[in-house]
Chain A
């Protein structure tokens, strides 16, 4: 028991900080700040670590807090350093940096309980900022761990101080457990709004990987090293053969001698696509890549409503893809595209940088002189790649100014972008309209959940040529050099020495199995937890019998179910009665039954068993013996010397028998 007094004149002092809460506050701050150490600049981590160590030492040695001027100095220096580091104070990352700084330094001025509360609220807020970087299952688990610590610290600030640490953690766990039903209801029913509400700072989506909108030798091979998942596909029917899985991304038309660029503006004239086979329906869950293209299976005929199909068959979202999204597509594998093409498109598809790659131009001119039919020219180029000693490698030698000449005639080592690029240059030089298409090729079916997984390492580049009457035809020169790339995937196409990331090599069986399981769990997490968007919410609610919900219905459902949950919690917590010993329960039941219909005969709180039995005997003489027996049994169990369990049970059974022997009707 604590007791303190104050004179009535003084202003009430704020409640002090319980000393037992200090280590908990430190731990809570550490838990909420620690994941940021992975993402923020090293000096900030070092500063925060230093502050934590310093504060821990002060607590350990029971030293006073540092003076205020020193803290002011540290805050000023820290803010200035963050402003220098991020060039702003208002971006997302700079804001998080500031919060980390404040959290560390707030620990240095914990005096009243209020300071502790502010630090913990900041901690709750910091937990949210972890998800800018990662929303994986591990991050979710960490959230629970950190929440437990922060909540236990809050408990210790408000009266749980003297309790054992395990008890505080248990109580925090109970609170969290009771909060889970509320979370589920809110998660399902809270009206979801499509983001964003306001303009995001420029650094909001930094660090998303994916295809780039230009291509130079080497740009894809960097992406190949990345085992991250680009998208997952769920086919309505069987999965098409691997050789047909070309996922179409940006189309690159302009070549400046070293780099391929897209058209300066999207060509929105509708393409003419004639289907020559059945349509394939599938759903694609695309990881955010901060670009607009949607990577459908080649070739889509139309996109979902929130996208446009350009003249060169790029499927573009209206906005950059900054969140994981699910898209329902239909594609045809066999098609004819623009048998009659716009002249400006054809003209663009023949342009070459002037005075570059003379040897390539000469080779193409020679082929054209031999046989000018485009069909034959394509065959010649492919045969050239096949017959000359070309190698497929992730580590091609550096190419200089005459890049294509050097590649075609000197180095002859390259990756898919080299082959696609060289092929298009040769075709254009020979007078066949051609362009580069990038995207992904292949993918692998996860046997655990049946999704086809396409990774960044499946990034690919190929070519398209336009043949009069037939339209645009896909030509993949890489397949000419390394058929395995298209048939079995990148891991099979490259020699072992090429050092692909461990996870991409397919030869470790158990590793592959575990990866498949882990990715299936992750996919479920992505689909059902992270991918819960307005559309999924609508779907779920209509499955629950609430079709066409607007926010009013949702708000009503939300309020109703929250109220019910609160009521349930209230009833549960208020209705918990003390657990009584069995003999007390039996004796109370006996007394209640004996006094049935006569409230005056109810046992009074102060009445002992013998006194009650005597009163009962006086008021209802037929009960005399029974009352005396029951009272005797109860007294022996309750107040007598300790008995062995078997004997206790016997006496309890005797007491229960007394209840049964009570007359069932009121005695008159």
Chain B
């Protein structure tokens, strides 16, 4: 096994054994036992400098040299306590992570809070060893950081493990603690742009103009929560002076054309993930063009409809379509 891989394995094993992590539910306080502390490279340099200074002070018999060296050693120890304390008692709460498309960065709103009087400074939030956010928390106050982290694959994923670390005040020691929010987040497939498939008439609805079309204005009805804002008849609402529920414009005509976004319409011999990406692109395009669309995948059918809620439902189905983590892999998925 190559050395870096071996090192990584060892590190993971150590992590599992030493840091035995269980997901944190709700608000979590960083207790003493959860905080680790080790000297940094600067700290080692400092220690080496102190050793050399001590030898110099002894050799040249410098009383003040002894005093200086001892004072600096004491300051190093005080700094260790301060670094530890900078994380101790911090209360963490994580907010909802909005769904993103694969390849984008998801953002976790992380609230840091503590009830002590003094300020906590320069706290880094790391994901997979990289600093993603940094913030201060004033005494008795809270700060909300937005922690971006990569979301490379579609599906519902647990949140990554966060590391909260600080080197404040002197950079001689690094204290850190792990935080694993017990949440999941949703990643839609990465959308691919391609022309929409041709719309086809739905059986049984082709003769009469159906309700809920897109082309011609056919009247007003009271608004329901799922109606898009751009369909609200603002002028009519202004005439009502707000007495009645907001009116929504109704359209008809052309709606006989329902768009089915079907696996069968994809180019032949396409891979699973590419196919899902194409479908995602279609969903976005169809929603943007205001079409009535439905989703037809092997095993899942979503009836044609329109609106943000519908789009979200389709995207979620695509994100969680078998093949994503947690679901059985289709046989013909690419490696």
Give the chain A neighbours of B139 by CB distance below 8 A: 578
B57: nearest residue on chain A (CB-CB)? Answer: A128
Asked whether B78 lies within 8 Å of A179 as measured between CB atoms, the reply is: yes
Stretch from B93-101, B113-121, B288-296 contacting the other chain: B113-121
User: Other CB < 8 Å A-B pairs besides A158-B170, A183-B73, 18 of them?
Assistant: A2-B134, A8-B128, A12-B130, A113-B171, A124-B72, A155-B170, A159-B122, A159-B136, A159-B167, A159-B168, A179-B73, A196-B59, A197-B55, A197-B58, A204-B60, A323-B61, A530-B63, A574-B32
Give the chain A neighbours of B61 by CB distance below 8 A: 195-196, 322-323
| Leading 5 A-B pairs by shortest Cβ distance | A159-B122, A182-B74, A179-B74, A186-B70, A195-B61
Asked whether A132 lies within 8 Å of B60 as measured between CB atoms, the reply is: yes
Stretch from B46-54, B272-280, B302-310 contacting the other chain: B46-54
Tally A residues with Cβ within 8 Å of B: 69
Asked whether A5 lies within 8 Å of B148 as measured between CB atoms, the reply is: yes
Question: Within the assembled complex, what's the spacing in Å between the Cα atoms of A569 and B84?
Answer: 12
Annotate A558-597 by CB proximity to B: 1 below 8 A, 0 otherwise: 0000100110011001101111000000000000000000
Stretch from A170-178, A350-358, A367-375, A412-420 contacting the other chain: A170-178
A637 CB to nearest B CB, Å: 19
Does residue B21 face the partner (Cβ distance < 8 Å to A)?
Answer: no
Asked whether A569 lies within 8 Å of B63 as measured between CB atoms, the reply is: no
Contact check: which of B55, B59, B72, B168 meets A200 at CB < 8 Å?
Answer: B59
Contact check: which of B55, B64, B131, B134 meets A143 at CB < 8 Å?
Answer: B64
Question: Within the assembled complex, what's the spacing in Å between the Cα atoms of A175 and B166?
Answer: 17
B150 CB to nearest A CB, Å: 6
Question: Within the assembled complex, what's the spacing in Å between the Cα atoms of A560 and B148?
Answer: 46
Annotate B143-181 by CB proximity to A: 1 below 8 A, 0 otherwise: 101101010000000000000001111110000000000
Contact check: which of B42, B58, B129, B131 meets A117 at CB < 8 Å?
Answer: B42
B117 CB to nearest A CB, Å: 5
B148: nearest residue on chain A (CB-CB)? Answer: A5
A2: nearest residue on chain B (CB-CB)? Answer: B134
Asked whether B70 lies within 8 Å of A182 as measured between CB atoms, the reply is: yes
Asked whether B56 lies within 8 Å of A3 as measured between CB atoms, the reply is: no
Asked whether B166 lies within 8 Å of A578 as measured between CB atoms, the reply is: no
A18 CB to nearest B CB, Å: 10
B168: nearest residue on chain A (CB-CB)? Answer: A159
Question: Within the assembled complex, what's the spacing in Å between the Cα atoms of A539 and B56?
Answer: 25
Question: Within the assembled complex, what's the spacing in Å between the Cα atoms of A321 and B171?
Answer: 42
Asked whether B63 lies within 8 Å of A1 as measured between CB atoms, the reply is: no
Tally B residues with Cβ within 8 Å of A: 66
Asked whether A6 lies within 8 Å of B122 as measured between CB atoms, the reply is: no
Asked whether B59 lies within 8 Å of A160 as measured between CB atoms, the reply is: no
Q: Which residues of A contact B (CB under 8 A)?
A: 1-6, 8, 12, 92, 113-114, 117-118, 121, 124-125, 127-128, 130-132, 135, 139-140, 143, 147, 151, 154-155, 157-160, 171, 175-176, 178-183, 186-187, 190, 193, 195-198, 200, 204, 322-323, 529-532, 562, 565-566, 569-570, 573-574, 576-579
Does residue B81 face the partner (Cβ distance < 8 Å to A)?
Answer: yes
Contact A1-B136, Cβ < 8 Å, known A566-B81, A578-B116: yes
Does residue B71 face the partner (Cβ distance < 8 Å to A)?
Answer: yes
Give the chain A neighbours of B52 by CB distance below 8 A: 125
Asked whether B53 lies within 8 Å of A187 as measured between CB atoms, the reply is: no
Question: Within the assembled complex, what's the spacing in Å between the Cα atoms of A9 and B43?
Answer: 28
Does residue B223 face the partner (Cβ distance < 8 Å to A)?
Answer: no
Does residue B77 face the partner (Cβ distance < 8 Å to A)?
Answer: yes
B114 CB to nearest A CB, Å: 9
Does residue B327 face the partner (Cβ distance < 8 Å to A)?
Answer: no
A196: nearest residue on chain B (CB-CB)? Answer: B59
Annotate B77-121 by CB proximity to A: 1 below 8 A, 0 otherwise: 111011011001100000000000000010000000001111001
Asked whether A131 lies within 8 Å of B171 as measured between CB atoms, the reply is: no
Contact A179-B46, Cβ < 8 Å, known A155-B169, A570-B81: no
Asked whether A1 lies within 8 Å of B134 as measured between CB atoms, the reply is: yes
Annotate B236-264 by CB proximity to A: 1 below 8 A, 0 otherwise: 00000000000000000000000000000
Contact check: which of A3, A181, A186 meets B134 at CB < 8 Å?
Answer: A3
Question: Within the assembled complex, what's the spacing in Å between the Cα atoms of A432 and B122?
Answer: 86
> Which of B121, B131, B170 has most chain A Cβ within 10 Å?
B170
Asked whether A1 lies within 8 Å of B74 as measured between CB atoms, the reply is: no
Contact A121-B49, Cβ < 8 Å, known A140-B64, A159-B169, A195-B59: yes
A204 CB to nearest B CB, Å: 7
